[in-house]
Amino acid sequence: MEFRDLKKQYDTLKTAIDSSIQSVIDQGTFISGPQVRQLEEELAAYTGTKHCIACGNGTDALSMALMAWSIQEGDAVFVPDFTFFATGEVVSFEGATPVFVDVDKDTLNMDPVRLEEAIQSVLSEGKLTPRVIIPVDLFGLPAPYPQIRKIADEYGLKVLEDGAQGFGGMLKGQRACSFGDISTTSFFPAKPLGCYGDGGAIFTNDDDVAEYLRSIQVHGKGSYKYENIRVGWNSRLDTIQAAVLLPKLKAFQDYELEKVNLAAEMYYELLKDMVKVPCIPEEYYSSWAQYTIQLKNQADRDGLQSFLKQAGIPTMIYYPIPMDKQKAFDGIKKYQECPVTEKLCQTVLSLPIHPYMEDASIKLVVDTIKNYFS
């Protein structure tokens, strides 16, 4: 059993993917080929945003967004404590201070109440300037953007949506990667929409921001390649990766998103009386980057993971360490305690899920969990 079966996906899409890659080889435009622009247009249309800028990876996407707002030393950027390291890492990379915010115990996304507490703590201290909130669409579920946007507007902050795991999710019919002043995603292979290497994208409705991002992603270029009007870097999506993503995006829209939700529904019905299953609030829709259950304590979590491994069932722990406890952030002031995150790190376990998962495989996972508790 595969945790995320990319081999089965390739077998299904092989003809389309191979043909798309071959077209790049035949045309010989490996950097900034027409497939990149086509992908950007299709992604913008899908998310309902005006601009999409494809780039090297999801981390670059976040960094470039912060650069567009001139985030720097003395600025405070609010990030969830329970997420992948990159969300906080990019803040420090720009010289600013990440302020870690606890998450909701059910949705696992940034808690708006704790967010406002963190903003007020920073303002009361008076040493940092609150600038940006980075909500994460964790495991495929959009963050609570109506509440977060209200807080952002009240305090004059920008919202940078980290949709690395959230592409395809929805809230009240609006698609993920469209909620931020700038939004980003990742095309890491195991993401809901993944390429065959690294890749990412940035979304915005701001013309000036889009122009800036297209400049800095190619060494700060101006009107042509050898005019450099600012210091930038090199973060382009390869044409071959765009060629991989084009047929994958079609399959994602045509059936993959629906099928992975059917798999999640089956898990829910079979597991809801055994463990704490993921919470999808009303009017929310997940793209299920992960299917993450919660156990009562760390002993149960670790025991179940070991039991499933012995049965040949892969699992993952996302995430074992709170962001604020990472060694890289030693010395950074903590503006609030994050007890929900600390408990989650001891109790979460992610099970195999993907659009090509058969019912029999889901039943095997569930039956093995049932045997563990019997």
Q: Please tell me whether residues 235 and 271 are part of one structural domain.
A: no
Range 275-287 average pLDDT: 98
216 in any annotated domain: yes
Q: Please tell me whether residues 215 and 277 are part of one structural domain.
A: no
Q: Please tell me whether residues 55 and 173 are part of one structural domain.
A: yes
Band (332; pLDDT cuts 50, 70, 90)? very high
Examine the fold and report which residue of 203, 232, 248 is the final residue of a domain before the chain moves on.
248
Residue 97, beta-bridge partner list: 76
Q: Please tell me whether residues 264 and 200 are part of one structural domain.
A: no
Range 318-339 average pLDDT: 97
Q: Please tell me whether residues 262 and 239 are part of one structural domain.
A: no
Q: Please tell me whether residues 138 and 170 are part of one structural domain.
A: yes
221 in any annotated domain: yes
240 in any annotated domain: yes
pLDDT in tens, 39-52: 999 999 999 999 99
Q: Please tell me whether residues 75 and 133 are part of one structural domain.
A: yes
Q: What's the CATH code of the domain at 313? A: 3.90.1150.10
Band (272; pLDDT cuts 50, 70, 90)? very high
Count of structural domains within the chain: 2
Nearest to 321 by CA among 341, 338, 303: 341
CA separation for the pair 366, 351 (Å, rounded): 10
Sequence-ordered list of residues with C-beta below 8 angstroms from that of 275, at least 6 positions apart, any chain: 293, 294, 295, 369
Residue entry with tokens 């940078």: 160
Is the CB of residue 335 less than 8 Å from the CB of residue 118?
A: yes
| Predicted pLDDT at 225 | 84
Range of the domain at 55: 6-248
| Predicted pLDDT at 257 | 98
103 in any annotated domain: yes
Q: What percent of the chain has pLDDT over 90?
A: 99
Q: Please tell me whether residues 163 and 280 are part of one structural domain.
A: no
Q: Please tell me whether residues 283 and 322 are part of one structural domain.
A: yes
324 in any annotated domain: yes
Is the CB of residue 217 less than 8 Å from the CB of residue 53?
A: yes
1 in any annotated domain: no
pLDDT in tens, 287-325: 999 999 999 999 999 999 999 999 999 999 999 999 999
Using CA atoms, how far residue 211 sits from 11, 76, 158, 163, in Å, is: 39, 25, 18, 21
Say yes or no to pLDDT of 279 above 90: yes
- For the beta carbon of residue 213, count every other beta carbon within 10 angstroms: 23
pLDDT in tens, 225-267: 899 999 999 999 999 999 999 999 999 999 999 999 999 999 9
Q: Which amino acid makes up residue 27?
A: Q
Residue 48 phi/psi, 5° resolution?
Answer: 80, 30
Examine the fold and report which residue of 214, 248, 282 is the final residue of a domain before the chain moves on.
248
pLDDT in tens, 137-181: 999 999 999 999 999 999 999 999 999 999 999 999 999 999 999
Q: Please tell me whether residues 186 and 282 are part of one structural domain.
A: no
Which phi-psi region, left, alpha or beta, contains residue 168 (left: φ > 0; alpha: ψ -120 to 50)? left
Say yes or no to pLDDT of 128 above 90: yes
Q: Please tell me whether residues 92 and 117 are part of one structural domain.
A: yes
Q: Please tell me whether residues 276 and 242 are part of one structural domain.
A: no
Q: What's the CATH code of the domain at 239? A: 3.40.640.10
pLDDT in tens, 76-108: 999 999 999 999 999 999 999 999 999 999 999
Examine the fold and report which residue of 220, 248, 276 is the final residue of a domain before the chain moves on.
248
CA separation for the pair 287, 30 (Å, rounded): 30
262 in any annotated domain: yes
Geometric angle at alpha carbon 202, from 71 and 330, rounded to 5°: 45
Sequence-ordered list of residues with C-beta below 8 angstroms from that of 221, at least 6 positions apart, any chain: 215, 227, 228, 229, 232
